[in-house]
């Protein structure tokens, strides 16, 4: 891809997001790279690792209590993406603080911690406890509030579809994170995503991530039933990119809050489309599940391309 004449953003430089300076603008998306610890021994043919050039690894979402997740099967590949119903399987908040986050810090992984809860008031104590446990960590840059996961019966996408509820979640966490970046991940399953972004902005968020997965369903023709035991799941991958671009554009023009673009990004061309609309960073999701080097390859390509 030839660099267009309108391009001006320096993709190779760190950038400020709220109170933190992030080392880059290409991140991995929550749930698509585990906790960010599993690939340290991986080496590409050119000798690079899957963390090279990344601005942040957004961890898989952590909840107050451990979760075993939804029944199997949890993932169905489609022609242009994937349908998942993981159900926020995770080790739980206290175990994450005791074992996972210190390991991320020791390995120097730039980290954004994804948090979810079933009540807005739960985000305050979680953020406070996180800040107490990791205030001296140099590589922990902030928190992404998962307000939009469509796979959990308690909460789910309805939890994040109300501007008032979004504002309450953000305000509760903001009060306990004075020196870390705070993001809210927004649902696309709403008529007015800009209203959600504006509510998050007014409550003190530093950026919003847009978008999370789209609610979807696929049918197993052998049985005539949905593939997933819970019927519906979160659809992601290349097919949702036009939806993600539209939602990012609505937020940028309608709410004036920094946006981290998510949805169908697998190449430098994909990422540039989001930056062209005003996104300040991007996250690589489904592509990262297929190839642990996907985000690193995008970061390398866009760094070379923007400096050419």
Domains of the chain, with CATH numbers? 15-64+92-214+236-306 (3.20.20.70)
Q: Could you tell me if residue 297 is left (phi over 0), alpha (psi between -120 and 50 degrees) or otherwise beta? A: alpha
- For residues 142 and 184, the answer to whether their CB atoms sit within 8 Å is no
Q: Taking the CA atoms of the chain, what radius of gyration do you get in angstroms?
A: 18
Q: Give the chain's mean pLDDT.
A: 91
Q: What would the two tokens of residue 27 be?
A: 């991140």
| pLDDT tens readout for residues 130-165 | 999 999 999 999 999 999 764 444 444 456 889 999
pLDDT-above-90 percentage for the chain: 80
| Sequence-distant (≥ 6) Cβ neighbours of residue 97 within 8 angstroms | 129, 130, 133, 134
* Cα–Cα separations (whole angstroms), residue 236 to 47, 233, 268: 30, 10, 18
| Strand, helix or coil for residue 198 | helix
Active site residues: 149
Mean pLDDT value of segment 210-238: 95
Mean pLDDT value of segment 73-94: 94
- What whole-number distance in Å separates Cα of residue 130 and Cα of residue 176? 9
Question: Mean pLDDT: which of 42-46, 73-77, 124-128 is highest?
Answer: 124-128
- For residues 216 and 234, the answer to whether their CB atoms sit within 8 Å is yes
């Amino acid at each position: 891809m030839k660099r267009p004449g309108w391009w001006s953003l320096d993709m190779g430089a760190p950038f400020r997001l709220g109170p933190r300076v992030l080392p880059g603008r290409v991140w991995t998306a929550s749930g698509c790279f585990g906790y960010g610890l599993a690939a340290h021994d991986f080496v590409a043919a050119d000798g690079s690792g899957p963390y090279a050039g990344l601005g942040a690894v957004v961890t898989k979402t952590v909840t107050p209590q451990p979760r075993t997740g939804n029944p199997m099967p949890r993932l169905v590949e489609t022609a242009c993406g994937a349908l998942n119903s993981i159900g926020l399987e995770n080790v739980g908040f206290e175990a994450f603080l005791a074992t996972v986050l210190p390991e991320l810090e020791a390995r120097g992984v730039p980290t954004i911690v994804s948090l979810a809860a079933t009540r807005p008031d739960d985000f305050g104590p979680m953020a406070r406890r996180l800040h107490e446990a990791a205030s001296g960590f140099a590589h922990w840059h902030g928190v992404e509030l998962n307000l939009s996961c469509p796979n959990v019966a308690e909460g789910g996408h309805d939890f994040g579809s109300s501007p008032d509820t979004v504002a309450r979640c953000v305000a509760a966490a903001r009060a306990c994170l004075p020196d870390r970046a705070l993001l809210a991940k927004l649902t696309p399953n709403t008529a007015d995503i800009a209203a959600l972004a504006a509510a998050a902005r007014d409550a003190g968020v530093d950026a919003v991530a847009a978008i999370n997965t789209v609610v979807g369903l696929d049918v197993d023709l052998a049985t005539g039933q949905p593939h997933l035991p819970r019927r519906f799941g979160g659809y992601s991958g290349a097919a949702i990119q036009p939806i993600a671009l539209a939602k990012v554009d609505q937020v940028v023009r309608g709410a004036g809050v920094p946006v981290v673009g998510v949805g169908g990004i697998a190449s430098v061309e994909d990422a540039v489309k989001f930056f062209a609309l005003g996104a300040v960073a991007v996250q690589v999701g489904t592509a990262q599940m297929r190839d642990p080097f996907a985000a690193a390859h995008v970061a390398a390509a866009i760094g070379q391309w923007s400096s050419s």
